Amino acid sequence: MLIMFSMIFFSLNIKSWWLAQNFFFFFFFFMYFKIPMFNYFLNISYLFGMDMFSYLMFMLGTWIISLVYISSLNLKNIYLNYFNFLMFIFLIIFYFCFFSNNFIMFYIFYEINLIPVIILIYGWGYQYERFKAGFYLFIYMIFFSLPFFSCLLNLNNSVFMFMYYFDYLNSLNFYYYLFLMMIFLVKMPLFLFHIWLPKAHVEAPICGSMILAGIMLKLGGFGIYHILMLVFKVNLNFNYFLISLCLIGMMVLSLVCFFQSDLKILIAYSSVVHMGLVIIGFLTLNNWGYFGSLILMFGHGLCSSALFCLSNICYLRFKSRSLFLNKGLINIYPFLSFWWFLLCSSNMSFPPSFNLFGELFLLISLMIWLDYFYLLYFLVMILMFLYSLYLYLYTQYGKLFFNMNYLVYINLSEYLLLFMHWVPLNLIFLIMELFC
């Protein structure tokens, strides 16, 4: 914490892009040696604690912010000091959210997280519609935020901690359950409350999309995991409806993906589908679902962030994210096409990607929970495979939109960026015994 707070004061005076990035890499490897090989909650102090879940999510956030600097080289001369300042603010917010022992502190930083994201969209976004996208994001979050806060204040002070007994809140009614859960379900986002996500992704710069997909959606999953301890017995009565809604929503949005012409919107809807799987895993209330959701959140954070980087690489060359213009890329960028194949295959949960293990765990948890729901799950997995294949084939093959002005070579740093997304995504399966 001392390191992070001291860097905030220096960030406004740091004139070097690479110095700031090297700090994040240093911080990542500094935290790496504190890895907890356990899954019970460890108190660091009265206010802070961590388990494997919070540790992995924070490490994912630090890694994504480190890679943001490689992906955003075109922003290098645009308000560099303020950009560095925002990145350090993100790091501190993630630290307080993931390692917080206290519900009130978690809630405060969970909501403060909105401010730097909106500043990123407004300040470094591409089009005028970014103001509308930021407004959508703000309204969706704040609308469900105040009922959650009022519920927290109505509850006894003893439940403000994350460590408590399940039997404490047996008598909560449906409205408490709804208000306590919706703030996190909207952030995930749940189907029917997902409209803000494609808009925010389309208008955000690449750094905003990476942070949104890579780590902000994971805050919602982290909150659901902890709030389910509070509403454990009430959830047994209502999780049937939410799981049914998630499965139906995933099928609908998977079909919607086939009708998208914008690369970013297609990848954003893919994120909503994956997050629906995560919600299902938590709501089944068993260990397979818990570990499956944790694995899928980690894998999706890397995979989705890398796909947004790929769409940005194409956007910088063709000045468009349209699928009708980004065609035939295998003819001019064959090695980039190889990376499209690797990451689209990871998105469709092809072995040995981390997503595969998460989806298998979630399949088992759903079969344990209710025997015939796994048929719908199989259908969703087939649709996820098909729209990832559609994304790959439609961009790499077909008639090339030929314009010599846009035929710029791919930088080595961009290949490095994709490599640093892909390696952890496909090699962490070697330590799967931690999750089994």
- Tens-digit pLDDT profile for residues 159-177: 555 544 444 555 677 888 8
In a domain, 45, yes or no: no
Q: Is the residue at 392 inside a domain?
A: yes
If you search the block for the tokens 């994210």, which residue do you land on?
321
CA distances from 398 to 45, 310, 328, 331 (A): 58, 18, 5, 10
Top pLDDT among 295 and 169 is at: 295
Q: What percent of the chain has pLDDT over 70?
A: 92
C-beta atoms surrounding 51 within 10 Å? 17
Q: 10 Å Cβ neighbour count for 165?
A: 10
Which residue range(s) make up the domain with 316?
1-39+50-434
Mean predicted confidence (pLDDT) in 199-216? 90
- In the chain, how many domains are there? 1
pLDDT tens digits, one per residue of 359-392: 999 999 998 888 788 888 889 999 999 999 999 9
Q: Which residues does 275 contact at the CB level (< 8 Å), separation at least 6?
A: 188, 189, 217, 220, 221, 300
CB neighbour burial string for 353-372, b if at least 16 within 10 angstroms, e if fewer:
bbbbbbbebbbbbbeebeee
Q: Is residue 306 part of a domain?
A: yes
In this prediction, residue 229 carries a pLDDT of 77
Give the rounded distance of the alpha carbon of 330 from its chain centre: 29
pTM above 0.85, yes or no: yes
**Does 44 reside within a domain?**
no
Q: Give residue 303's pLDDT.
A: 94
Q: Check: CB of residue 319 under 8 Å from CB of residue 327.
A: no
Whether cis (ω within 30° of 0) applies to the bond prior to 189 is yes
Q: Of 353, 207, 325, whose CA–CA distance to 263 is shortest?
A: 325
Burial class (CB in 10 A: 0-12, 13-18, 19+), 378: exposed
